[in-house]
């Protein structure tokens, strides 16, 4: 009898120990941890990588060549040129192929200074160097042009991008395994891959920085969780964690925001926050991070010194953050590259945050604060719409930090007892996949300053998602960019909205030209125009200027109307709206072009902003 009691006591202690071990391994007992073998993950992500290679080759290569205009273009050319400059041309502008910079419209080969001028940092180039060297060696073996810019090299860059994208997804999965069972973690990863803007940057804009930040963020978050959970705080693991953060900061300096997760991930109390900060500020850990960050930055310091003679250099002259002028509503809701209209998955991610907060998970509260902080920072950039952007692209890589809210949302849906509601959510996710892929395969870069809702719904009509009756069309601009109307002159003096306006003076007699063929605007003849522009005269009540509307046919003026600024501008030093309506006669041929521009015959100085034309 005594022996039986001893066995029961021993078994009780063993069960209690197992429970304690389970709690230590899984601090969230309401969630089932994954128990699948690691080999299953390996097979899954090898298949994802293979599928990604097929997809990117099929999407980007035509007749054995990279589809025009290629991957090395604009900002991507800045990120890329570090590699051929280092390994082929020795930073000598005269050794580069003749006018190669004109082809890619990015970096500058300055004949006067003999310098290769690059505005971006070299983090992406460091990550892609193994693929570039493999391309260079293969070009030598197969006796292909070893110029660093051909389609052959760009194919290797495509493979490198898919590699880092797949590895990023893998690390997200490993991170989520700490919180959820295998199916929830894997579904979350697939949803991130297929319904967010990161898909476009993985398989189309492969040399933009977003996928590489996505990979580094994923590695950082996984290594951080592994480090915090480990019973033994390995300095090797901390060094890898520091390396991922250091490379992310080098890649895009604004990535330094992610360091906040070191303090707040899985935080349980304010007291623990202070302990966490002291833990990471430990002299040995601080020294390890500082040394790794410095070592990672050395190539950039050397390049800046080569370019400017200084080891610290700001390579974005004239491009600044306006911290007092955030454009949060625009970056979230604008039909022009807004986050939610183009990638509604983010609405569901915020719902996941709501679930976490409702369940009193501090990770949820911090996820919300982090989303707001990142949105604020990027909305303060002078070009808040980020040029040719697939939705709001600065947050593409930051979706890594929304993986937890997405996992909680998937978990909550899986626990719903109502089959109809669960099926509806599955259908909704499938719709989001379809919507994202339709945008991917129909994407046209739009870089104008403002874009109306008409343009957005026209896109949806082109995707055959809506039957949009095009009864009116509104064209808008706040002069933040110079596409779609020319010539155009910009100024940071006297803006009405945000930071940029346009202007005329004694040297500018006409400005803000905008042309459209009438029959290409609406699905019926244009009969009426509503015009609006805000005008500011700093020195005089009179501008003697007009907003001209004219139609020419075969070189002959057939229609002419003016909107006189001085009929509205009565005071100086204040913006006044100039507005009016114009009827288009029925006899006007709708196949002719209508032309608008500001005329300044008196050579007066004045400013104007927020121009719009509504066609009816």
> If you write DSSP's letter for every residue of 459-491 in order, what string do you get?
HHHHTTS-----S-EEEEE-SSS-SSS-S--EE
Neighbours of 361 (CB within 10 A): 19
375-393 pLDDT, tens digit each: 999 999 988 888 778 889 9
Task: Name the packing angle between helices 270-280 and 283-308 (round to 10°).
Answer: 60
For residue range 202-232, list pLDDT tens digits in order: 999 999 999 999 999 999 999 999 999 875 6
Residues with Cβ < 8 Å from 143, sequence gap 6 or more?
none
> Does residue 374 lie within any of the structural domains?
no
Non-local (6+) Cβ contacts of 596 within 8 A are 512, 513, 514, 515, 531, 547, 548, 549, 613
Strand 108-110 relative to strand 115-117, pairing: antiparallel
| pTM over cut 0.85 | yes
How many whole angstroms separate alpha carbon 208 and alpha carbon 75?
A: 7
Tell me, yes or no, whether 527 lies in a domain.
yes
Task: Count Cβ atoms within 10 A of the Cβ of residue 16 and give its class: 0-12 exposed, 13-18 middle, 19 or more buried.
Answer: exposed
Tokens at 345, concatenated: 């998955």
The answer to whether residue 246 is domain-embedded is no
pLDDT higher at 351 or 16? 351
Mean pLDDT of the chain: 89
Residues 172-176 have a mean pLDDT of 97
With a cut of 50, say whether residue 47 has pLDDT above it: yes
Distance CA 479, CA 512 (A): 9
CB 312 within 8 A of CB 306: no
pLDDT of residue 26: 46
Q: What is the CATH number of the domain that holds 574?
A: 2.60.120.260
Contacts of 300 (CB under 8 A, 6+ apart): 121, 122, 250
For residue 496, being part of any structural domain is answered with yes
Question: Nearest Cα to 435, choosing from 200, 593, 607, 106?
Answer: 200
Q: Which region among 219-223, 414-418, 438-442 has the lowest average model confidence (pLDDT)?
A: 438-442
252 phi/psi in degrees, rounded to 5: -145, 115
Domain count, the chain: 1
Whether 9 has a pLDDT exceeding 60, the answer reads no
Domain that holds residue 555: 473-615
Task: Please indicate, yes or no, if residue 291 is contained in any of the structural domains.
Answer: no
- According to the model, what pLDDT value does residue 484 have? 52
| Least confident among 3-12, 202-211, 290-299 | 3-12
Selection from 186, 157, 182, 155 nearest residue 170 by Cα: 186
For 61-197, where are the alpha helices, taking DSSP H only?
Answer: 75-87, 100-104, 123-141, 151-176, 182-195
Residue 425 domain-assigned (yes or no)? no
596 domain-assigned: yes
Question: Considering the domain boundaries, does residue 513 fall inside one?
Answer: yes
Band (pLDDT 50/70/90 cuts) for residue 571 is confident
Residue 418: pLDDT over 90: yes
Q: Cα separation of 100 and 147, whole Å?
A: 10
């Amino acid at each position: 009898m005594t022996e039986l009691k001893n066995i029961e006591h021993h078994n009780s202690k063993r069960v209690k120990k197992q429970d304690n071990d389970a709690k230590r391994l899984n601090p969230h007992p309401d969630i089932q941890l994954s128990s699948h073998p690691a080999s299953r993950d390996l097979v899954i992500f090898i298949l994802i990588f293979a599928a990604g290679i097929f997809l990117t080759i099929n999407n980007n290569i035509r007749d054995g060549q990279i589809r025009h205009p290629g991957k090395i273009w604009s900002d991507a050319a800045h990120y890329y040129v570090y590699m051929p400059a280092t390994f082929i041309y020795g930073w000598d502008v005269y050794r580069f192929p003749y006018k190669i910079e004109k082809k890619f419209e990015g970096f500058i080969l300055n004949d006067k200074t003999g310098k290769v001028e690059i505005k971006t940092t070299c983090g992406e180039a460091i990550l892609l160097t193994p693929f570039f060297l493999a391309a260079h060696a293969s070009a030598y073996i197969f006796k292909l042009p070893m110029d660093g810019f051909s389609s052959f090299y760009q194919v290797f860059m495509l493979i490198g991008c898919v590699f880092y994208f797949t590895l990023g997804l893998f690390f997200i999965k490993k991170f989520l395994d700490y919180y959820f069972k295998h199916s929830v973690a894997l579904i979350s990863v697939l949803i991130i891959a297929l319904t967010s803007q990161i898909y476009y940057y993985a398989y189309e804009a492969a040399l933009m920085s977003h996928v590489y930040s996505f990979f580094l963020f994923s590695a950082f978050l996984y290594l951080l969780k592994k480090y915090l959970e480990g019973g033994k705080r390995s300095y090797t693991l901390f060094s890898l964690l520091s390396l991922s953060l250091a490379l992310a900061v080098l890649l895009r300096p604004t990535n330094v925001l992610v360091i906040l997760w070191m303090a707040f991930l899985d935080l349980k109390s304010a007291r623990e926050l202070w302990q966490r900060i002291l833990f990471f500020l430990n002299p040995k850990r601080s020294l390890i991070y500082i040394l790794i960050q410095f070592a990672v930055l050395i190539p950039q310091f050397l390049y800046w010194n080569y370019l400017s003679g200084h080891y610290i250099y700001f390579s974005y002259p004239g491009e600044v953050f306006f911290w007092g002028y955030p454009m949060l509503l625009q970056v979230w809701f604008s039909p022009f590259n807004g986050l939610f209209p183009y990638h509604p998955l983010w609405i569901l991610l915020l719902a996941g945050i709501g679930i976490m907060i409702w369940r009193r998970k501090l990770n949820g509260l911090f996820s919300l604060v982090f989303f707001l902080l990142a949105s604020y920072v990027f909305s303060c950039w002078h070009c808040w719409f980020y040029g040719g952007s697939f939705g709001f692209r600065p947050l593409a890589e930051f979706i890594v930090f929304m993986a937890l809210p997405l996992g909680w949302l998937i978990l909550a849906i899986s626990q719903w007892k109502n089959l109809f509601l669960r099926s509806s959510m599955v259908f909704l996710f499938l719709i989001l996949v379809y919507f994202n892929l339709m945008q991917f395969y129909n994407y046209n870069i739009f870089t104008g300053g403002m874009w109306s809702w008409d343009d957005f719904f026209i896109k949806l009509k082109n995707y055959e998602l809506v039957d949009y009756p095009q009864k009116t069309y509104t064209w808008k601009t706040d002069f933040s960019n110079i596409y779609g109307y020319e010539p155009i002159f910009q100024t940071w003096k006297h803006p009405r909205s945000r930071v940029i306006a346009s202007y005329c003076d004694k040297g500018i007699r006409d400005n803000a030209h905008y042309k459209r063929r009438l029959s290409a605007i609406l699905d019926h003849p244009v009969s009426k125009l509503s015009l609006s522009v805000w005008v500011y005269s700093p020195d005089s009540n009179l501008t003697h200027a007009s907003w001209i509307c004219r139609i020419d046919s075969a070189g002959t003026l057939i229609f002419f109307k003016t909107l006189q600024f001085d009929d509205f501008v009565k005071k100086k030093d204040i913006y006044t709206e100039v507005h009016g309506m114009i009827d288009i006669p029925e006899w006007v041929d709708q196949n002719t072009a209508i032309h608008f521009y500001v005329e300044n015959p008196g050579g007066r100085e004045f400013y104007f902003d927020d121009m719009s034309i509504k066609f009816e």
